[in-house]
Amino acid sequence: MPEAAPWCLYLLECRNGAYYAGITNRLEARYAAHLAGTGAKYTRANPPVRVVASRAYPDRSAASRAEAQLKRLPRSKKLAFFDQASCRSDVSRDRGNQTIAGG
């Protein structure tokens, strides 16, 4: 039996400057779905421009708990949540062009 893909928490930057957080076990496919307008209601109205960060978790439950924690944080602390990770994906992060105001 093939090994299950790890779940991950991801953070997208949307065209309107807002962040969108979600979980998946197939990040590239999920991001493609968001780009195509089939990923989530919010990203249909506010298309993503890039994946800002992601962090792997051993299972869906752990990823869901982390997503809930992340969503409770103010915008200014969301990136720091990923900086605390000991396990980070290879998603490129260009923090120089981000707006860190708002929530």
pLDDT digits (tens, 9 = 90+) for 71-101: 999 999 999 999 875 444 434 333 333 322 2
pLDDT, position 86: 45
**How many angstroms separate the CA atoms of 95 and 102, rounded?**
16
Q: What is 7-91's CATH topology?
A: GIY-YIG endonuclease (3.40.1440)
Find the mean pLDDT for residues 41-51.
Answer: 96
What are the sequence ranges of the domains in the chain? 7-91
pLDDT above 70 covers what percent of the chain? 78
pLDDT, position 4: 67
Contact, 56 vs 87, CB < 8 A?
yes
pLDDT, position 83: 84
Q: Which two tokens stand for residue 73?
A: 């944080």
* Residue 102 in this model has a pLDDT that exceeds 90: no
**How many angstroms separate the CA atoms of 14 and 1, rounded?**
37
- pTM for this prediction: 0.78
- The torsion region of residue 83 among left (phi > 0), alpha (psi -120 to 50) and beta comes to alpha
